[in-house]
């Protein structure tokens, strides 16, 4: 009986073990299912979170775009208002003047202003002093950068001009480190000579004939009184002078789409932009007050045509007496008539120019005011001094001297 009891007990233990194992397997299976479901739930939550973040980012981008579009619309509305005011102003001013005396304009006179109302007033008064008689030929505009109220008020106080305002709500960003924001919004204090408009009218006819002339300037960088003598002489130059200049409508149409925000004077001095075209400049500046008035309408400026000028300039240069060695200033002062001093490279040019006191600057391989590498000025007046580059004779077609 004892053996039977032990046998039954063993069967019971075996049954309990089987039941335990079965229960554990069911429990493991259930746990695995719940673990898989939990993992799926976590994965689904992660995907949902990621999608929510993407949606939030898209909403933020859309909101930012909406803000930008609203700002663009605001600027466009301002520009539309400016254009509407400009059209009305032109109708009230320009149309009446044309009805009174129909005359083909020679060029628009544009004064660039920013935040100096007092300087703007001086410039406008200087222009109006000589512009009134030729207003139909040279309509006057003030182009204002920014929203300075005093500049706007000053410009609008003159019935003889048209005011244009350029508003930019965005913060001005310079394109290169170290640049001055003032160059991006700048106005020059400039006064003009009595023959300023006659000069440009005569030069406009020259530009129509000679397409190798890119612009005409009223400025000479070496135009200080100790370096000039003859107010009737004009020169061709490979270096853009700036400060009171005129170009044709086709040239403006060519350049305006890529016009830089600042430093446009240096930009125009690059070969890639002027493409070998040259500039006309005076010996005596027309952008400051001086007592003489040249009758430009009676002057024959055909000598400035490219084919004539290169021969004329070469002949004058050939006749100048050469100066060699050191002490160029002293030697030039002791020679009768025009002189020429040859330089070897840019450092040599800078050394010689420093002795005379003229500009030493170069841009894109061209010395300031130079024509074919030759810089000419008076020292002392009326003697002309020619600083001649190493390739100048070749460029001018001078074979022997």
Q: What Cα–Cα distance (Å) separates residue 231 from each residue in 46, 225, 241, 364, 372?
A: 82, 11, 17, 29, 22
For tokens 């070496």, the residue is 222
Residue of 230, 265, 266, 348 marked catalytic: 265
Closest CA relative to residue 341, chosen from 359, 362, 320, 370: 320
- Report whether 269 contacts 217 (CB < 8 A): no
Closest CA relative to residue 377, chosen from 364, 366, 388, 391: 388
- Report whether 335 contacts 321 (CB < 8 A): yes
Neighbours of 349 (CB within 10 A): 23
* Residue 266 among the catalytic residues: no
Helix axes 117-131, 196-209, angle to 10 degrees: 80
- Report whether 341 contacts 323 (CB < 8 A): yes
d(CA 93, CA 88): 9
Structure tokens at 331: 């030697």
- Report whether 375 contacts 386 (CB < 8 A): yes
Query: Between vectors from CA 210 to CA 209 and to CA 215, what angle results, nearest 5°?
Result: 115
DSSP secondary structure code for residue 366 in this structure:
E
* Strand spans (E) along 209-333: 213-217, 234-237, 245-246, 278-282, 321-323
321-323 and 339-342 beta bridge pairing: parallel
Structure tokens at 141: 């505009």
d(CA 349, CA 366): 11
- Report whether 170 contacts 185 (CB < 8 A): no
Neighbours of 278 (CB within 10 A): 22
- Report whether 200 contacts 107 (CB < 8 A): yes
Catalytic residues: 265
């Amino acid at each position: 009986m004892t053996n039977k009891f032990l046998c039954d007990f063993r069967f019971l233990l075996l049954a309990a073990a089987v039941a335990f194992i079965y229960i554990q397997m069911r429990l493991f299976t259930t746990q695995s299912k719940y673990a898989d479901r939990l993992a799926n739930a976590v994965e689904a939550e992660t995907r949902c979170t990621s999608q929510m973040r993407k949606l939030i980012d898209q909403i933020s981008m859309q909101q930012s775009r909406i803000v930008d579009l609203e700002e663009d619309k605001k600027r466009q509305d301002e520009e539309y208002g400016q254009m509407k005011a400009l059209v009305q102003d032109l109708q009230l001013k320009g149309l009446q003047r044309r009805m009174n005396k129909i005359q083909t304009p020679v060029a628009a006179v544009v004064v660039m202003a920013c935040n100096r109302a007092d300087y703007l007033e001086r410039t406008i008064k200087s222009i109006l002093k000589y512009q009134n008689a030729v207003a139909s030929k040279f309509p006057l505009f003030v182009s204002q950068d920014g929203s300075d109220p005093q500049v706007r008020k000053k410009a609008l106080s003159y019935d003889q001009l048209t005011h244009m305002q350029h508003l930019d709500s965005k913060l001005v960003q310079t394109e290169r480190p170290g640049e001055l924001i003032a160059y991006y919004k700048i106005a020059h204090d400039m006064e003009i000579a009595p023959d300023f408009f006659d000069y440009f009218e005569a030069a406009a006819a020259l530009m129509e004939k000679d397409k190798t002339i890119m612009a005409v300037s009223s400025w000479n960088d070496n135009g200080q009184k100790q370096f000039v003598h003859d107010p009737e002489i004009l020169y061709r130059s490979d270096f853009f002078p700036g400060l009171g200049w005129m170009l044709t409508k086709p040239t403006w149409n060519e350049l305006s789409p890529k016009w830089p925000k600042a430093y446009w004077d240096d930009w125009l001095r690059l070969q890639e932009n002027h493409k070998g075209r040259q500039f006309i400049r005076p010996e005596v500046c027309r952008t400051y007050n001086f007592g003489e008035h040249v009758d430009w309408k009676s002057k024959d400026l055909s000598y400035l045509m490219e084919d004539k000028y290169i021969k004329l300039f070469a002949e004058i240069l050939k006749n100048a007496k050469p100066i060699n060695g050191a002490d160029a200033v002293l030697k030039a002062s002791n020679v009768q008539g025009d002189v020429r001093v040859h330089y070897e490279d840019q450092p040599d040019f800078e050394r010689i120019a420093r002795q005379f006191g003229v500009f030493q600057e170069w841009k894109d391989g061209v010395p300031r005011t130079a024509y074919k590498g030759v810089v000419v000025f008076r020292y002392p007046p009326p003697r002309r001094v020619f600083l001649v580059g190493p390739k100048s004779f070749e460029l001018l077609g001078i074979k022997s001297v």
